[in-house]
Amino acid sequence: MNNIKDIATQEKFTGNQFFTIAVIPGDGIGPEVTQQAVLVLDAIAQKFGHHFDYTYCLMGADAIDKTGTPLPEETISVCSKSDAILFGAIGHPKYDNDPSAKVRPEQGLLMLRQRLQLFANIRPIATYPSLHHLSPLKGKQLIDVDFIIYRELTGGIYFGEKKSDDAQTWASDECIYTKEQVERIAHLAFKAARQRKKKLTLVDKSNVMETSKLWRKVVKDMALQYPDVELNFLYVDNAAMQIILNPKQFDIILTENLFGDIISDVASIISGSLGLLPSSSIGISNALFEPIHGSYPKAAGKDIANPLGSILSVAMMLEHLKLFKEAKLVRDAVEWTIQNLFVTKDIDPVNFYFTSTVGELITEYIHGRVTGVFNQENVELRKSTII
């Protein structure tokens, strides 16, 4: 594992923006999509005169195989000192097929979220007109779909005390939330709504759950601080249905950990491919960026995984680092590849392009080498020469 450069090294880049990035490739297709995301960051650095210093870290099944733990202390140390964390994916069939395994790859991500207090998962949901045919929703339902889910990450049932008897005849999972946990993510959601359509929807189950009653009371009280934001409420079952029936009604959705996990997966089908969707996890002093897809081990090493979710996560990272022009350029590049159907196998199983080719095309766009006339033969040969 490389060491992050010290302040003296940063001084060599006076006049440029210098950032330390912890990179966690993870398992399955994680390393492949992360590699393309890093290439995009390198292209941005070259174009705008920035410097990104990468430190590669272990987490997940890869970390278990090499260290015996899904999250080594060295990874936590590096991530805590970095300006941002770029993460690929975790998971492996040998653990998926053994639910009794005491040590599992997913524990690494849960532990990292808790140790770094990454309390807010932010997942944008949008559609691309040229890909509407891939969505299970009808075309008229997809027009102008653009909303963001804010999911609390460090509380709730996932982190509560878990009990069961030896005979496995009963089990319980404790769900706990505090006012402070609700407030810190709700402030982020309200502020985001102010910058968009000024509409926030709280998703809960306050008709049966005490934690949801707390969420609703706290958020209602906080709404007085944001009188310009329209606040609505939906029970989680209705919210899941409404996301499918009429997704364009939403702007900012705020919810707790378990509900957020469920409805964000429901919403992910809208775009037509899990490979298109990015996310960020924001903490008090750290931030992690990752595509929403899993490790997809069957595709690992075949150069067919969709890198766009990881690359769009880089755009979210750049915005977090206040590099807004750079983030827009990355998003423009992604939209250009989609519009021109330079897409991977998950989107077009017949006329598809390789993971590395899509990444190269995006870097070509960033460097301004796109003229609109393409040497199709070179692209098909996994090159990205554009004339």
Task: Please give the positions annotated as active site.
Answer: 158, 205, 237, 261, 265
List of residues 6+ apart from 197 with CB closer than 8 A: 251
DSSP state of 129: G
| Joined tokens for residue 216 | 């609703």
Of 102, 99, 107, 96, residue with least CA distance to 70: 107
Strand pairing partners for 127?
A: none
Buried b (16+ CB within 10 A) or exposed e, 184-193: bbbebbbebb
The tokens 């919403």 sit on which residue? 267
Instruction: Report d(CA 6, CA 62) in Å as an integer.
Output: 28
Decide: 308 and 365 in contact? Cβ < 8 Å. Answer: no
Mind giving me the DSSP string for 96-128? HT-TT-SS-HHHHHHHHHHHTTEEEEEEEEE--
| Joined tokens for residue 145 | 């779909």
Q: What are phi and psi of 303, to 5 degrees?
A: 60, 35
Mind giving me the DSSP string for 322-377? T-HHHHHHHHHHHHHHHHTT---TTT-SSS---HHHHHHHHHHHHTT---S-B-HH
Instruction: Report d(CA 154, CA 160) in Å as an integer.
Output: 10
Of 217, 201, 205, 146, residue with least CA distance to 175: 205
How many of the other CB atoms lie within 10 Å of CB of 329? 22
Give the CA distances from residue 280 to residues 85, 98, 124, in Å, rounded to whole numbers and listed in that order. 10, 29, 9
Question: Helix, strand, or coil here: 4?
Answer: coil
Burial of 254 (0-12, 13-18, 19+ CB in 10 A): buried
Decide: 244 and 262 in contact? Cβ < 8 Å. Answer: no
